[in-house]
Amino acid sequence: MKLIAIVLVLAVPARAATSTFQALGKGFKAPVVVAQGFDAQVIFSNLTAPRGIAFDANQNLLVVERGFGITAFTRVSSPSAGWRRTVVIENPKLTQGIQVDGRNLYVSSGDSILVYEYDIATTSVDATHPPYTFVGGLPANGPVNTHTLQLETDLTGRTVAVLVAVGPSVNIDPLARDPNSGRSTIRRFPIPLREAPLYDPVPFDFSEGQVLAYGLRNPTGFTFHSGWNTFTAGTKNLFVVDNGPELDNVPGLDAAFLSENPADELQQIQYTVGPDSEIPSPQFYGFPDCFTIWNPAADELGVRQYLGTKKGAQFSAQLTPERDDAWCRNKKNNVAPVLPFQAHTSPLDIKFFTPSLFNSNSSFPATYGGDAFVSFHGSLGQPLPSGYGVVRVPFIHGLTPPNVDYSFVIQAMNLTTCPGDCIRPVGLAFGEDGKLYVSSDNSGELFVLQRKIAT
């Protein structure tokens, strides 16, 4: 017993030593344009593909460095102002998902959801406990295996479920028509009432998850809208960003049309949780049959059949005769997005801004309260690169006004050089300070957007 204690004491300094510091004032790898009245500062450079990010209750920013593990970033003011990076977990299998609830740190790999016991005071995990597998057997194949996570809380704030995203098995995946296929879907895993930290010898199998929605091609990011909503207390109002496919083999469409279609999407899922954690039957969100028009006139001469439709209209990929344009436009068959995003911009995360008690003159303005912010990873292989930034989507009373325009708060300055060293935003998180923190995987950067202080 005594021997073990000595070993543990010796292990602590080794962990603490894996900290590095970066002073404020380092530049971006490639130039950015920031919206008027805002300012962007690099927090840390040269990271290993930073993806999902989340704040713990002490305002340490936890980051999935994909291919490395989890790191924590803590603001330091002396001897010089900057950020300290501490290694929390070395696990190269972790891909993107990260959520923290007290001592429970939820992370995702290609095939499982793991829970580490997290010590907020030292930003470290308990080295004596291996992580607990909360869900095993996730499908790890297909073009994406990032498995975004979102915790669901009840009206008292207690975490009651974990939502898990799964993408398609191939670009156009017929399996996604079946809610039980486990592809292009969000599944919900209720957490049994038990003591924290959460250690349970029996993991869920992925097949046991409740289907929240299906036909969402690649639900890369999702979050609940809590404030400013007009919905009944207890109704969950989840907003999801979804990445469209390449429709290269669909008859009647050509490269010029497909360079601006189909749109990427903002989807809304509303549900109410019953007393035994039961949820309503899931709805179908269109994939692989129904898609969204971004620009109906992208090829006015070559593809004329959508000229009479508007941005946001549903159209069919004509994979089966029954699921034609009329079928796709019938709300009973297919839930259309609440907002289309420009084709190929690859939205990866969404967060709502809520002004907090700690707001200062560099926080986002209170008039942005309730608005959504979405990261655009950016297009690849398109003649004109698009995305490579973060946009603000105005919301009014928990809804996007019809045909609302979104606008960039930050974007790579010269899109023709992208991807190159351009920012490729992935994870978003608002701090208690009312500033927006962003990870950028390709450029290996973590940065913060804040209001510019007038001088």
Ligand X SMILES: *[C@@H]1O[C@H](CO)[C@@H](O)[C@H](O)[C@H]1NC(C)=O
The smaller minimum CB distance to ligand X, of residues 66 and 217, is found at 66
Contact yes or no for 412/30 (Cβ under 8 A):
yes
> CB 23 → ligand X: shortest distance, Å?
9
- Which is nearer to ligand X, 320 or 360 (by Cβ)? 360
Amino acid at position 190, single letter: P
Q: Which stretch binds ligand X (CB under 6 A): 163-171, 196-204, 364-372, 412-420?
A: 412-420
Other CB atoms within 10 A of residue 208 CB: 12
| Smallest separation, CB 38 to ligand X (Å) | 15
Q: Which is nearer to ligand X, 277 or 414 (CB)?
A: 414
Options 122, 128, 360, 403; binder of ligand X; rule CB under 6 A: 360
Please report whether residue 416 would count as binding ligand X according to CB under 6 A: yes
CA distance 331 to 291: 13
* Nearest distance from C-beta of residue 386 to ligand X, angstroms: 15
From 62, 66, 24, 28, select the one nearest 47 (Cα to Cα). 66
Amino acid symbol at 446: L
- The stretch near ligand X (CB under 6 A) out of 49-57, 224-232, 300-308, 411-419 is 411-419
> What is the smallest separation between the CB atom of 420 and ligand X, expressed in angstroms?
8
User: Per rule CB under 6 A, is residue 20 in the interface with ligand X?
Assistant: no
Closest CA to 67 of 44, 90, 46, 43: 90
AA letter at 347 = P
Q: What sign does the dihedral 362-363-366-371 (CA atoms) show?
A: positive
Residue 249 in contact with residue 284, Cβ under 8 Å?
Answer: no
CA gap 142, 139 in Å, rounded = 8
Using CA atoms, how far apart are residues 196 and 50, in angstroms rounded to an integer?
28
Least separation in angstroms between residue 80's CB and ligand X is 14
Question: What is the distance of C-alpha 71 from the center of its chain?
Answer: 18
When asked if residue 77 is in the footprint of ligand X (CB under 6 A), the reply is no
Distances (CA, A) of 237 to 21, 67, 129, 293: 39, 33, 35, 25
Tell me: does residue 454 bind ligand X (CB under 6 A). yes
Q: Between 45 and 318, name the residue whose CB sits nearer to ligand X.
A: 45
CB within 8 A of 306, min separation 6: which ones? Answer: 293, 296, 313, 315
Q: Is 103 in the site for ligand X (CB under 6 A)?
A: no
Work out which of 197, 325, 417, 421 binds ligand X, going by CB under 6 A: 417
Question: Looking at 119-127, 236-244, 300-308, 414-422, which segment touches ligand X (CB under 6 A)?
Answer: 414-422
The enclosing H or E element of 327 equals: helix 325-329
Of 18 and 361, the one with the shorter C-beta distance to ligand X is: 361
Nearer to ligand X, 22 or 218 (CB): 22
In sequence order, what are the residues at sequence separation of 6 or more whose Cβ sits closer than 8 angstroms to the Cβ of residue 195? none
Nearer to ligand X, 272 or 361 (CB): 361
**Residues binding ligand X: what is the number (CB under 6 A)?**
11
Is residue 361 a contact point for ligand X (CB under 6 A)?
Answer: yes
- Residues contacting 143, CB < 8 A, separation 6+: 167, 168, 170, 171, 218
Give me the least distance between CB of 360 and ligand X, in Å please.
5
Exactly one of 4, 17, 301, 453 binds ligand X (CB under 6 A); that residue is 453
**Strands of 159-166's sheet in order across:** 149-153, 159-166, 185-190, 210-214, 283-284
Least distance between ligand X and beta carbon 441 (Å): 15
**Nearer Cβ to ligand X, position 59 or 360?**
360
Among 19, 24, 26, 355, binds ligand X (CB under 6 A): 26
Q: Nearest distance from residue 72's CB to ligand X, in Å?
A: 18
Interface positions, 108-147, toward ligand X (CB under 6 A): none
Question: Can residue 46 be called a binding residue for ligand X (CB under 6 A)?
Answer: yes
Closest distance of CB 434 from ligand X, Å = 12
Is residue 367 at the binding interface for ligand X, with CB under 6 A as the rule?
no
212, 269 Cβ separation under 8 angstroms: yes
Q: Which residues bind ligand X (CB under 6 A)?
A: 22, 26, 45-46, 360-361, 414, 416-417, 453-454
